[in-house]
Amino acid sequence: MTSQSHTRGAAHKSTGPNLTLELALLGVLATLWSSSYAFIKIGVETIPPVTLIAWRSLLAGLLLWGVMALRGVRMPFEAALWRRFLLQACVNSVIPFTLIAWAEKTVDAALATILNSTSPIFTFLITWAITRHEAVTARKLVGVVAGIAGIVLIVGLEALGSAGRHLLAQVALVVATIAFAVASVIGRGFRGLDPIVPAAGSLLGGAVLLLPASLLFEQPWTAAPSARSLGAMAALAVFSSGMGVVIYFRLLNTLGSVGTTAQAYLRVPIGVAIGVLFLGETLAPAAWAGLACVVIGVAAMTIPARGAAASRERGPVEKPPS
């Protein structure tokens, strides 16, 4: 029996995914990842950016490996699979989060959130132009447009007033966004594995790649991290990376790459809601209209067509749709 057979997930039941549960998890993922920008901003105050992401990846990967042991899920050690883990680590962790951490030394977390919320657009374009592994429908295109319109309405054009400053940092954020889009497409290659397996493997792979770079270029032993930055790093490891990446790989199997990256649109309204509930901020009427656009966009890109839903109810999906 191969190690992959020990890591088959529970998502392949004959009844198909529970759409209500998957959409709820999409909201949880958006919450976990929307908070990561603030944590990164706090972390890089006293921790060098590569070091921050390296330790985030290592701590999260070890945490998930421990959870796997408690659940009796074995980590596969096939060389081919680990090469895929390393590739996934590069495009979903090493490249984007290092660029984000570096950029947030000069760019506000809010602007980083806005720029990274465009990942569904790049996922849509990659799917349409290259992979064609999912049906690219007019409804998904409407979802992309509605989501971007919602972002503009919620944040307001004045929030982008500083978009011309720190141009190199902003370009880095866009490159990170493209990397996230690529990761959402190639991450579907882990179908059939328990979602915690590629999550742990890619995080540990990212740590293997980043720790030597941290030691070589940043000499982290010379830093004096504050308790505030260390707390932010721990929150990144446990919540944004540990919990978030497991949910992410599950949703790639159930909602697809375009549907999963729709969580990017939810990051900004969730941030707005936190401000209203906990910071006493107020929302302009345009912001409420933006929230409606975001909901429409997410629904358009995640809720399957009636025929597709019916086919899932008839039996399990053996391979990604062509």
Q: How confident is the model at residue 6 (pLDDT cuts 50, 70, 90)?
A: very low
Instruction: Report residue 237 as tokens.
Output: 């490891």
Whether 34 has a pLDDT exceeding 80, the answer reads yes
User: CA of 150: how far to CAs of 14, 76, 117, 147, in Å?
Assistant: 36, 42, 11, 5
Helices (H) and strands (E) in the chain, counts: 15, 0
- Each residue's pLDDT tens digit, 255-282: 877 778 777 777 777 767 766 676 566 6
Rounded-to-10 torsion of CA 179, 207, 246, 10: 110
d(CA 273, CA 115): 19
The percent of residues above 70 in pLDDT, for the chain, comes to: 78
Task: Tell me the average pLDDT across 71-76.
Answer: 89
Q: Provide the mean pLDDT of the chain.
A: 78
* 164, 294 contact by CB (below 8 A): no
- Measured from the Cβ of residue 220, the count of other Cβ atoms closer than 10 Å reads 17
**How many residues are recorded in the chain?**
322
* 57, 210 contact by CB (below 8 A): yes
Of 151, 148, 124, nearest to 135 by C-alpha is 124
Task: Tell me the average pLDDT across 185-210.
Answer: 87
